[in-house]
Amino acid sequence: MAAQAFCAVHVVNHHLCSLAFVRGPSMLPAMNLAGDVVAVDKVSVRLGKVGPGDVVLMISPEDPRKDVAKRVVGMGGDSVTFLEDPGNSDASKTVVVPEGHVWVQGDNVYASRDSRHFGAVPYGLITGKIFCRSSKCYISTKSSCGPSP
pLDDT at 84 over 50: yes
Task: Please give the average per-residue pLDDT across 80-90, as a whole number.
Answer: 92
pLDDT at 146 over 80: no
Give the mean model confidence (pLDDT) for residues 44-61. Answer: 97
pLDDT band at 145 (very low <50, low <70, confident <90, very high): very low
Judged against a pLDDT cut of 90, whether residue 144 lies above it is answered with no
pLDDT digits 0-9 by tens, 115-143: 999 999 999 999 999 999 987 555 444 43
pLDDT of residue 143: 37
Percent of the chain scored above 70 by pLDDT?
Answer: 85
What pLDDT does residue 107 have? 96
Q: What is the pLDDT of residues 18-31, one digit of tens each?
A: 999 999 999 999 99
* Whole-number pLDDT of residue 8: 64
Catalytic position from the list 26, 112, 115, 129: 26
70 is a catalytic site residue: yes
pLDDT of residue 1: 77
The three state secondary structure string of the chain is CHHHHHHHHHHHHHHHEEEEEECCCCCCCCCCCCCEEEEEECHHHHCCCCCCCCEEEEECCCCCCCEEEEEEEEECCCEEEEECCCCCCCCEEEEECCCCEEEEECCCCCCCCCHHHHCCEEHHHEEEEEEEEEECCCCCCCCCCCCCC
Of the residues 42, 70, 112, 115, which is catalytic? 70
